[in-house]
Amino acid sequence: MDEHLSSSLLIALIGGIVDLDSTATWQFMISQPIVAAPLTGLFLGNIFGEAAAGLKLGLMVGTILQLLWIEQLPLGMNVPPDAALASVLSVALGFIAGRSYETYAEREVCYTVALLFSVAMGLLGRSLDMFVRRVNTNLDAWVCQRVEDNQLWSVAVGHTLGGFLTFSKAFIFCFLVVWLGVEPLKYFTQTLSLKHSSGFIVVQGLLPAIGFSVLASMVLKNRQEVRVFIIAIVIFTFLPAKIWLGIGAALLYMWRKSAEGGSGA
């Protein structure tokens, strides 16, 4: 089978499974960008014999998309942008199109353009989600009618059809975008002159600040916490960037606050 067709089918399968997890089933959170993107990178990298490169690209994309849409939740009627599909497509398009470039800078630009394109695809994915939910509403009416006629088997059929629709939507969408999108992406990246397009690497480095802002808005509730937060940022600016330092400090602060709460009660 043609290599491009087989990788498009693989991405479609991953997209379908990952999209099922985002709301329809399981909700183990494999649909979160921090998981979905590295997973795609790993599988795709395996096909081309570059598993480590795929995984690293997946982590980079997953980190940015996780931060960008961290506050988006599928609560009640709210349908958030499809971060799962955006993650899968961003890695797939970036990895496949990026393989044709020789230099690091060209590949990075290609990854960033793929990321921006996939954010738009995530928004389109939201519209498709809403369409599936409308079809499900018709399915629900059909099931209610059947149950009233004592055809109880219709519940399992209707419910399974709903899940099948979600999978099919993501499968077809991912397949078409990857199958048709790689060449236009390559063409677009080539039209950017390298001098100007290197600015995209600067953009990539600054984008996490947006997610950090959203998170800060979510967690900071009063002035005292803002003060503690700024002091902590200043301290961490001067300390070496060690992961265990960040996690250790967080656990220590949680333990201290917990003890304060316990003694105060």
Partner 1 sequence: MRNLSRLMLARIAFRSFFLQSSWNYRGMMSMGFLYAISPALDQIHQSTHAREGAYLRHLEYFNTNPYFSSIVMGVTLALEERLSRGEIGEDIIHDTKEGLMTACAAVGDGLFWDSWRPFIAVAALTFAFGNYLMTPLIFLALYNLPHLYFRFAGVYWGYREGTHVIRSLRGFRFPQIRQNLRYGTMIMLAYLIPNHVNLHTPYLLTNLPLEYFYFGEKVVQGIGALFLVTLGTIAYRARIDVLMISFLLMVCALVFFHWGILI
CA distance 108 to 28: 31
What is the nearest approach in angstroms of partner 1 to the Cβ of residue 92?
Answer: 16
Query: Binding to partner 1 (CB under 8 A): which residues in 4-33?
Result: 23-30, 32
**Per the structure block, which two tokens stand in for 98?**
């990026």
The contacts of residue 163 (CB under 8 Å, 6+ apart) are 20, 24, 25
CA distances from 73 to 13, 16, 63, 76 (A): 24, 19, 17, 9
The CB-of-35 to partner 1 minimum distance in angstroms stands at 4
Span near partner 1 by CB under 8 A; candidates 9-17, 95-103, 156-164, 183-191? 156-164
* Contact call for residue 227 and partner 1 (CB under 8 A): no
Nearest to partner 1 of 95, 182 (CB atom):
95
Residues 229-248 interacting with partner 1 (rule: CB under 8 A): 229-230, 232-238, 241, 243, 245-247
- Tell whether residue 118 is a contact of partner 1 (CB under 8 A): no
Hey, which residues between 40 and 59 contact partner 1 (CB under 8 A)?
A: 52, 55-56, 59
For residue 150, is it left (φ>0), alpha (ψ between -120 and 50) or beta? left
Identify the sign of the CA torsion 92, 96, 97, 102: positive
Which position among 158, 171, 173, 178 is part of the footprint of partner 1 (CB under 8 A)? 158
Among residues 49, 36, 29, 52, which one has the least CA distance to residue 92?
36
Residue pair 13/26 in contact (Cβ under 8 Å)? The answer is no
Q: Which of 160, 176, 183, 187 lies at the binding interface for partner 1 (CB under 8 A)?
A: 160
- Interaction pattern, residues 191-210, with partner 1; x per rule: CB under 8 A: -----x-xxx-xxxxxxxxx
In the complex, minimum distance from the CB of residue 163 to partner 1, in angstroms, rounded to a whole number? 4
65 vs 178, which CB is nearer to partner 1? 65
Residue 126 interacts with partner 1 (CB under 8 A)? no
Asked if 123 contacts 80 with a C-beta cutoff of 8 angstroms, the reply is no
Total residues in contact with partner 1, by rule CB under 8 A: 100
Choose between 47 and 147: whose C-beta lies nearer to partner 1. Answer: 147
Among the residue ranges 87-95, 100-108, 172-180, 253-261, the one whose residues contact partner 1 (CB under 8 A)? 253-261
Distance CA(192)–CA(32), nearest Å, equals 31
Query: Which residue lies nearer to partner 1 by CB, 66 or 182?
Result: 66
For residue 69, give Cα distances in angstroms to 11, 108, 124, 210.
22, 22, 15, 10
Reading the block at residue 243, the tokens are: 């992961």
In whole angstroms, the minimum distance from the beta carbon of 221 to partner 1 comes to 8
Pattern 75-94, partner 1, x by CB under 8 A: xxx-----------------
Question: Helix 104-148 and helix 154-191: axis angle, to 10°?
Answer: 160
Contact 121, 84 (CB under 8 A): no
